Amino acid sequence: MCKNSVLLRDIITKYHPVWKKYPDIHSFMINSPRSFNVEHLIEVCLAHVGGYNFVDEAGYDFDDPVWSDSKTLSVNVKSYRAELGNLANKIGALRITIYNPHSDKVDFMYMTFDEWNEYKRSCYGKNQEDKTRLVMSWNKKDHYNQFEKFRLKSFKELARCQRTQPL
């Protein structure tokens, strides 16, 4: 399956405040993943489950106490890496949803501003001077190198986390 199909199947059909009311359209959603803005639907689900609002402001997505931002990414099939970019203007915690094609499942991570800021790397190349990113590596033992300590057990835990202090 593709990233969008799995996110639709495992998260959006379960947690979205509107879509979960219509189980008869779930198969259409999963079979037509390109018809939906899945990243935005994940943001709506996080806000709904977490009890805060999606505000889509510069530097953050949610009006929660940690000014968090949602990031949705995939583990690369060939390199086993997952890269999270465009972090330069972020001001708070990151709620990270990772599709892993090797396991056909979704993983979740939560990082405070101080935590992800410690691991960020500069981007190089044309028009990349002020951009930063995180680079994670996944291995077949189902481990995300130094980022493993930020992994959570469920989408609900990701949505409800309000931790402000580093682990």
Contact by Cβ (8 Å): 115, 151:
no
Q: Which two tokens stand for residue 35?
A: 């018809």
Contact by Cβ (8 Å): 12, 29:
yes
Segment 32-54 mean pLDDT = 93
Q: pLDDT at residue 164 above 70?
A: yes
Which residues, at least 6 apart from 90, have a Cβ–Cβ distance to it below 8 Å?
59, 60, 69, 113, 116
Q: pLDDT at residue 128 above 70?
A: no
Show contacts of 112-121: CB within 8 Å, 24+ apart. 112/66, 112/163, 112/164, 112/165, 112/166, 113/66, 114/166, 115/150, 115/166, 115/167, 116/87, 116/90, 118/166, 119/146, 119/147, 120/87
**Distance in angstroms (rounded) separating the CA atoms of residues 150 and 138:** 13
Q: Give me the pLDDT at residue 125, please.
A: 56
Q: Domains of the chain, with CATH numbers? A: 3-160 (3.40.1350)
Q: Give me the pLDDT at residue 58, please.
A: 93
Q: Which range has the worst mean pLDDT, 18-22, 89-93, 116-120, 142-146?
A: 18-22
Q: Which two tokens stand for residue 74?
A: 């995939």
Q: pLDDT at residue 126 above 70?
A: no
**Distance in angstroms (rounded) separating the CA atoms of residues 79 and 31:** 27
